[in-house]
Chains A and B, each alone.
Chain A
Amino acid sequence: MEKALFIIIAVIAVAAALNVLIQRNPLYSALSLIGTMAALSVLYVMLRAQFIAAVQIVVYAGAILVLFIFVIMLLNAPKQQLQIDKQKGLRYLAIPLAGLLLAEAFYVVWRVQDIAMPVVKEGEEAVGTTWSVGVALFTHYLLPFQVAGVLLLMALIGAVVLARREGDK
């Protein structure tokens, strides 16, 4: 039952990911990527990472991809055919190289020893709930959390400075 659900979700995720490459319009690519994000969120719930599943939807699909779509619509680029003018051979090299990368990754995965998932602890102590993530974040990982905050502030200022028109006050 769980395996059947996994296969369905995995097929959706991979199909949406391939659609990102197939589509010529970046807007459709971005919308298709939202499908991959949603499918991954289901997998996170299956792995009992409820908090990360919610963050995936809220931050990735809700904020980052909306930012992408915003920029795509803002630029409103003419639908030029983006042909590869330089180094056309790279395109034909990409698929064999991707196959090689995939073969290496699958070899590693094949060597992984399958371990059983630990038994669920009922209640708040289970790994992956907001409670357990919060406790770890504000005790053991407090410094990385604060550094992430500084990083986001820097990104905010950097984005404003970079996207500003020259000569604007």
Chain B
Amino acid sequence: MVPLSWYLGLSALLFTIGAMGVFIKRNTITIFLCIELMLNGVNLTLVALSGFFGDVSGQLFVFMVIAVAAAEAAVGLAIIISIFRNRESLNVDDADTLKL
């Protein structure tokens, strides 16, 4: 039987890889993919705890996270398309109008 801490450790590792990607990548779409990776790491925690405690609530939370991720992907990609049309670039450093 796989211990609970292995699942939690793997999900921490996936979350960290995603967080690191947000720091070191400069392509808007790749940063977005790293955010999805972080969401997946958290989902693994929720499903693991739900399985080990025998409570279905954690899985419903994951269901909601997936629904929100779908909404976020649709709106976020629309924003990326809109930025690309205006600036002809996917580099996050080019979208800095709000910066002082």
List residues of A whose CB falls within 8 A of some B CB.
2-3, 6, 10, 13-14, 17-18, 20-21, 26, 29-30, 33, 36-37, 40, 43-44, 46-49, 51-52, 55-56, 59-60, 63-65, 67-68, 71-72, 74-75, 77, 80, 82-86, 90-91, 93-95, 97-98, 101-102, 105-106, 108-110, 112, 114-118, 127-128, 132-133, 136-137, 141, 144, 148, 151-152, 154-156, 158-163, 165
Please, how many angstroms separate the alpha-carbon atoms of A100 and B42 in the complex?
A: 18
**Whole-angstrom distance from the CB of A141 to the nearest CB of chain B?**
5
Please, how many angstroms separate the alpha-carbon atoms of A10 and B48 in the complex?
A: 14
Q: Mark B61-100, 1 if CB is under 8 A from A, else 0.
A: 0111011111111110111111011000111010000000
Count chain B residues whose beta carbon lies closer than 8 angstroms to a beta carbon of A.
Answer: 72
Known: A72-B29, A90-B24, A114-B4. 13 other contacts (CB 8 A): A13-B14, A14-B10, A26-B27, A43-B44, A52-B47, A55-B66, A67-B73, A97-B23, A101-B15, A114-B3, A128-B59, A162-B79, A163-B77
The closest CB in chain B to the CB of A9 belongs to B10
Please, how many angstroms separate the alpha-carbon atoms of A91 and B77 in the complex?
A: 25
The closest CB in chain B to the CB of A149 belongs to B67
